[in-house]
Structure 1
């Protein structure tokens, strides 16, 4: 199976590739924007599945999905996002997308979703349509404060400290302090490890 992951967050791409390729039978290619994704589809397609970040450069909303679907080497195209609304996802499916993957989807679920969509089956997480899952009862979550959980969610979505600070309306130095503290609590030494721990523990 060969898939293409297009996202402008380096950390998120690296994390996703690590988990997907860890499954053993999935080959991945990556791109940081729609233009390079389309070029890869043309040069190295067909791909069994193309995952496109909704907010990366070149997407222009759902126009990017339609452009990818128009390529001969991309029979199955799905959205990946940490911010897309339910209405956007529904519109994407109506436009021909094979599914939607939240950036906080647990690693095992992510691999299963990829296999599902690569076979031509639509996929959208049930919890996305019904509301956020409750992470408060998770053993790892109990070690962290509510704010640290919010910061860890941002890390798992591949966001930089500046982006997390903007989302939470806090200063960047405050975010750095939270990051340092949560590293210690979950046994991580860097951003990639923290994101991997969150996904391995299926925290979000």
Structure 2
């Protein structure tokens, strides 16, 4: 039997999940928590096999709870169950140590299979999340920034305008704009601020 803790700030979601898993003899719901802080205390106390963890919650969010449990060396497998599959949600959760990442529209049978897989230590990802992760892994390696593009982006990150960057690099302003357009395309962004943010996130500076 797989011992399960459910973490979600919406009581109706917790009730639905508890009813779903309690109706199957393979699972035992041993606790529920409404936020990340409660979750850490509860999981440390009851030592479940799997934690179903929401991400966006008050006080301490899901990523904070996952990080804390991993730092404590808690062996529970943590399966994120959320509504959000953007890169800004997926990457921090996976980096923090989540065993898997599913969306709340996952069919019941798939959710059951995912929990069983997570209990065995297997990674479980919904298709859209797998696509997000694959895209993040591929993009920097598939088309890296050139040294000149990094120079231009570095100046932009330090607050230089296109004209100032052109003067410092002894190139035309039009050339700076062209380099930036190439940077945007390679990083998958649409403006300077996003380009700088992604570059810092990927450790390009």
1:31 aligns with 2:37: no
Match of 2:10 in 1: 9
Q: Choose between structure 1 and 2: higher helix proportion.
A: 2
Per-residue deviation, residues 1-36 of structure 1 (Å, max 9, x unmatched):
101110011111111111112221211121111122
The CA deviation at 1:73 is 3.9
Whether the 8 Å contact between 1:69 and 1:76 is mirrored in structure 2 is no
Gaps of 5+ in 2: 133-205
RMSD across aligned positions (CA): 2.1
* Larger radius of gyration between Structure 1 and Structure 2: 2
Hey, which bits of structure 1, 4+ residues long, moved more than 4 A?
none
RCO higher in 1 or 2 (8 Å CA, sep ≥ 6)?
Answer: 1
1:79 aligns with 2:80: yes
The CA deviation at 1:84 is 3.9
Match of 2:52 in 1: 51
Whether the 8 Å contact between 1:41 and 1:71 is mirrored in structure 2 is no
- Matched length: 130
Q: What is the TM-score of this pair, normalised by structure 2?
A: 0.57
Q: What is the TM-score of this pair, normalised by structure 1?
A: 0.57
Alpha-carbon distance in 2 for matches of 1:74, 1:106:
27
Match of 2:125 in 1: 124
The CA deviation at 1:72 is 4.2
Gaps of 5+ in 1: 132-204
